[in-house]
């Protein structure tokens, strides 16, 4: 049994393999030739590995950024990290987490099949993290480590991962200029709110991607060049503030601190370029392959994919959102110090991916102003909401770290506080959540799939 669970967990939490298998099933359902099926499957698999590799390069380049920042300010506190929290929880709740994830995937497919929310969530690691959060909260609420927790947890996760892409879809149509792709990330609630606020307060006429450079600065139109230059300035300033001794003894292994900063900036830009290449490969293969799933299994369904999938559509917004989000997170940290609360140190990786995406959503219907406002709103959420989820996770001694994205924080806080009233309250709350989603779907006007 443990071996089967391990195999399932390994497949489901390896996005490249999971999406490659989905592509293969879609191609087979379309009765494509063996050559087309093999090519489409392998290209989708490789494209996701390229995207994941690029994301890893980006994250690794941001690690010294975070260390220099923390050293320069001398601040200690809670660092939001999904990976850290999940690593702690899986030691004790690994089996129940995997089974919740399995049930959640089935619920997602069933809801997509029989409701108007036609989204198949395909980001494996996000599904695992939501399963883990759900297991922790339900067991803490007194449901125990049993089949009730697995079924209720799967129902909650499957419903959540079906409905959150729907929040984002009006903006995804604007971003991608199509309606065949959905957002499958755990920042969806924040992205949708960023898009709505950006739409209300922004000005769509002036997009972040319409910035006009003088002819002498025409080289800045190349995203790799502009990202390298901007990040080099930021890294060098931070390296100077942290000081050569810290950088060269703790981070660069003796390499000159300015040279180290330049290399990290270039590495960051390289990672971004790799991500873009992976996205291009995935979009070329997964969307046509997914038509087989949509026609045969879940009519008119859309694949909900990880957040870097939208980065090529607005690279200027990504950078703008990162800096705005990180600045707001830093100011929030200082406010917490002054208020003598738990201090949430801004997670650089979270602010890059979520802040960048929030700006893209804000920009989609609110232009540059919408991008800035959207990034600010999302940053305030991921900076302050961790204070309210910590009490829910404290019983399991996870207070040294916490979840980082809005789709963990908002549902986690609601479900966790409901758990304070006991197992019956949590059970009723989860069932009510699913029923409400089904009723809302039934009342929605039927729209053309295109």
- Is 50 exceeded by the pLDDT of residue 449? no
- Domain residues of the chain, as ranges? 2-443
| pLDDT of the residue at 370 | 96
Say if residues 265 and 319 touch (Cβ distance below 8 Å).
Answer: no
| pLDDT of the residue at 227 | 80
**Reported confidence tier of residue 450, pLDDT bands at 50, 70, 90:** very low
| pLDDT of the residue at 295 | 72
- Is 70 exceeded by the pLDDT of residue 13? no
At 317-330, the pLDDT tens digits run: 998 999 999 999 99
| pLDDT of the residue at 391 | 80
| pLDDT of the residue at 168 | 96
| pLDDT of the residue at 446 | 62
- Is 70 exceeded by the pLDDT of residue 216? no
Q: Above pLDDT 70, what percent of the chain?
A: 90
| pLDDT of the residue at 395 | 53
| pLDDT of the residue at 80 | 78
- Is 70 exceeded by the pLDDT of residue 213? no
Average pLDDT over residues 361-369: 95
| pLDDT of the residue at 111 | 96
**Reported confidence tier of residue 434, pLDDT bands at 50, 70, 90:** very high
More confident call, 173 vs 90: 173
- Is 80 exceeded by the pLDDT of residue 118? yes
Give me the chain's average pLDDT, please: 86
Average pLDDT over residues 49-66: 85
**Reported confidence tier of residue 384, pLDDT bands at 50, 70, 90:** very high
| pLDDT of the residue at 2 | 64
At 129-172, the pLDDT tens digits run: 898 889 888 888 888 778 889 999 999 999 999 999 999 999 99
**Reported confidence tier of residue 108, pLDDT bands at 50, 70, 90:** very high
Q: Above pLDDT 90, what percent of the chain?
A: 44
Question: Among 109-118, 186-195, 218-227, 279-288, which is the least confidently predicted range?
Answer: 218-227
- Is 60 exceeded by the pLDDT of residue 397? no
Average pLDDT over residues 186-202: 96
The pTM of the full predicted model, rounded to 2 decimals, is 0.83
Average pLDDT over residues 16-41: 86
- Is 80 exceeded by the pLDDT of residue 79? no
| pLDDT of the residue at 259 | 95
**Reported confidence tier of residue 448, pLDDT bands at 50, 70, 90:** very low
- Is 60 exceeded by the pLDDT of residue 398? no
- Is 60 exceeded by the pLDDT of residue 178? yes
- What is the length of the chain? 450
Tell me the three-class secondary structure of the chain, residue by residue.
CHHHHHHHHHHHCCHHHHHHHHHHHHHHHCCCCHHHHHHHHHHHHHHHHHHHHHHHHHHHHHHHHHHHHHHHHCCCCEEECHHHHHHHHHHHHHHHHHHHHHHHHHHHHHHHHHCCCCEEECCHHHHHHHHHHHHHHHHHCCCCCCHHHHHHHHHHHHHHHHHHHHHHHHHHHHHHCCCCCEECCCCHHHHHHHHHHHHHHCCCCCCHHHCCCCHHHHHHHCHHHHHHHHHHHHHHHHHHHHCHHHHHHHHCCCCCHHHHHHHHHHHHHHHHHHHHHHHHHHHHHHHHHHHHHHHHCCCCCEEEECHHHHHHHCHHHHHHHHHHHHHHHHHHHHHHHHHCCCCECCCHHHHHHHHHHHHHHHHHHHHHHHHHHHHHHHHHHHHHCHHHHHHHHHHHCCCCEECCCHHHHHHHHHHHHHHCCCHHHHHHHHHHHHHHHHHHHHHCCCCCCC
At 229-261, the pLDDT tens digits run: 888 988 899 899 999 999 999 999 899 999 999
Give ∠ CA 123-125-126 in degrees, rounded to 5: 65
């Amino acid at each position: 049994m443990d071996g089967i669970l391990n195999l399932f967990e390994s497949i489901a939490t390896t996005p490249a393999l999971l999406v490659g298998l989905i592509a293969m099933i879609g191609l087979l359902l379309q009765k494509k030739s063996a050559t087309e099926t093999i090519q489409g499957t392998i290209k989708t698999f490789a494209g996701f590995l390229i995207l994941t590799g690029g994301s890893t390069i980006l994250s690794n380049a941001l690690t010294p950024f975070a260390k220099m920042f923390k050293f320069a300010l001398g601040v200690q506190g809670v660092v939001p990290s999904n990976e850290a929290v999940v690593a702690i929880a899986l030691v004790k709740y690994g089996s129940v987490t995997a089974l919740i994830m399995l049930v959640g995937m089935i619920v997602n497919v069933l809801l997509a099949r029989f409701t108007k929310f036609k989204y198949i969530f395909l980001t494996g690691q996000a599904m695992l993290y939501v399963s883990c959060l759900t297991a922790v909260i339900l067991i803490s609420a007194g449901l125990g480590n049993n089949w009730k927790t697995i079924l209720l947890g799967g129902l909650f996760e499957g419903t959540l991962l079906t409905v959150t892409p729907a929040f984002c879809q009006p903006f995804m149509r604007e971003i991608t200029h199509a309606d065949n792709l959905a957002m499958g990330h755990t920042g969806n609630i924040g992205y949708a709110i960023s898009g709505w606020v950006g739409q209300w307060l922004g000005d769509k006429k002036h997009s972040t991607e319409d910035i006009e450079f003088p002819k002498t600065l025409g080289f800045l139109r190349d995203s790799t060049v502009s990202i390298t230059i901007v990040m080099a300035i930021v890294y060098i300033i931070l390296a100077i503030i942290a000081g050569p001794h810290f950088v060269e003894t703790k981070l660069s292994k003796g390499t000159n601190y300015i040279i180290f900063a330049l290399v990290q900036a270039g590495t960051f830009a390289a990672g971004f370029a790799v991500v873009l290449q992976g996205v291009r490969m995935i979009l070329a293969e997964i969307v046509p392959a997914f038509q087989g799933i949509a026609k045969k299994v879940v009519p008119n369904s859309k694949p909900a994919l990880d957040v870097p999938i939208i980065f090529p559509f607005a690279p200027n917004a990504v950078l703008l959102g990162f800096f705005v989000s990180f600045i707001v997170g830093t100011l929030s940290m200082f406010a917490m110090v002054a208020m003598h609360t738990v201090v949430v140190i801004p997670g650089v990786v979270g602010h890059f991916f979520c802040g960048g995406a929030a700006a893209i959503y804000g920009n989609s219907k609110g232009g540059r102003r919408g991008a800035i406002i959207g990034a600010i709103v999302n940053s305030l959420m991921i900076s302050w909401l961790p204070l309210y989820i910590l009490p829910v996770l404290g019983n399991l001694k996870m207070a040294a770290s916490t979840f980082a994205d809005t789709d963990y924080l908002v549902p986690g806080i609601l479900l966790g506080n409901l758990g304070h009233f006991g197992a019956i309250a949590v059970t009723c709350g989860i069932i009510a959540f699913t029923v409400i989603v089904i009723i809302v779907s039934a009342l929605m006007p039927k729209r053309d799939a295109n």
